[in-house]
Chain A
Amino acid sequence: MERVDAGRWELIYRADAPRVYRALLATLSDRDAARDALHEAFLEGLRHPPGRDENLAGWIFRVALRKAHRGPYRPLLSGVADALWPASPNDELAQVLDRLEAGRLLALLTERQRSIVVAQYYLGLEQSEIARLFKVRRGTVAATLSQAIRRMRQGSQHAI
């Protein structure tokens, strides 16, 4: 696989990073975690640039999600931080997501479902690309997406 030149990595990264950051916000619902994960993905790209045939937004998204989950303590301690500082930036993010239809729909899903829904509907990845990036079978992606769509439809009907 041909590699992206490390020297050009920042330019390429900057083109997709804003969109991937919002995708991470929608998936993780945590501003610090999203920013840190994005930075980790940038550094990972410096060390091991993705191949030229990779979907770069998808690659950054997948690497960032993996980095975000590297520390299993994060969700617990983020909860502690939110408890200690009730007016945390994540509250504002939660309010914004709650005002948006997409946010309300994503709130019905598990994080894994959110990541695949966001990858498909926001980042525009094909199911085969999602399967390759997340290292799962395409059938798994299709099944996860199908469950997520069902939940979102049911949730929308209840909301009405």
Chain B
Amino acid sequence: MPSESFETIFRRDLDRLPGLADEDLVPRGADSARRVSFGSVLALVGVFVAVVVVVLSLQAIRDADRSPQEAAATQSPYFVIAGGAAAGATASPNPAAAPSPAATWIVGPPVSNPLLGVPSCPPGSSPILDVTHWPPPGDLPGGGAPTAEEAFRRAYPTVTDFKMFPWGTSPAPVWVVAGSETYVVNYSGGPGLNSWFAHPAKYVGCYTPEPRTPRPSGLPSEAPTTFG
């Protein structure tokens, strides 16, 4: 049994423990007070990884549950641009949306009526659109409309009876049907900052990427696929 009282022992000994510097007694602002210790960082990383795993798992389950038609309907289209000077002729696909070089284009017939909704294609293939662009300067972020609907109404103020169909779950593109005419509304750069633009668009068909072996270096590349 200690010869001194516990009170004496604790008061004497615990005062010998290292203290905090005066400036450390108070957190340096609310943020520094919430300084993250190593344990907290690990815990946050762990929680983040767990959330990502759960979200990806749910996404995989949802994708697995989707019908092929749904899956096809949400595939982003590849745009075939018919630029101002070359109006009426087809050109190479939009580089931003073009298939990878290691794929050939096999164009098949449409499998849905583009006047009734977003053009859909069989699983594994994507819709191709022939899009007529405005003359230069063309679509520049900041020069368009803040929303898809506003972009369409600005571009075609006389068209009042139209339907808009979102292309899958992402904000763009948007398929617009007005009577027998079809349009696509897309944004340039980012969806905000007045970057939406509307253009007449025709549903060309579906393409199926077909893997091919890489060409040996030094050989001339194939001519780009064109659609007339």
Contact = CB atoms under 8 A, between A and B. Distances in A.
Contacts of A36: 33, 35, 37
B11 interface: yes
Contacts of A21: 19-20, 25
B16 A100 contact: yes
A6 interface: no
Contact of A10 (B7, B19, B26, B38): B26
A122 B15 CA distance: 9
Nearest to A157: B1
Nearest to A122: B10
Contacts, number: 116
A41 B151 CA distance: 54
Given A35-B20, A96-B17, A121-B10, A43 B43 contact: no
B162 to A, nearest CB: 54
Interface string A19-44: 00111011000011101101110110
A14 B26 contact: yes
Question: Chain B interface: which size bin?
Answer: 20 to 34
B24 interface: yes
B27 A43 contact: yes
Contact of A38 (B10, B13, B25, B38): B25
Nearest to B12: A102
A111 to B, nearest CB: 16
A18 B38 contact: no
Interface of B: 1-2, 6-7, 9-20, 24-27, 30, 33-35, 37-40, 42-43, 46
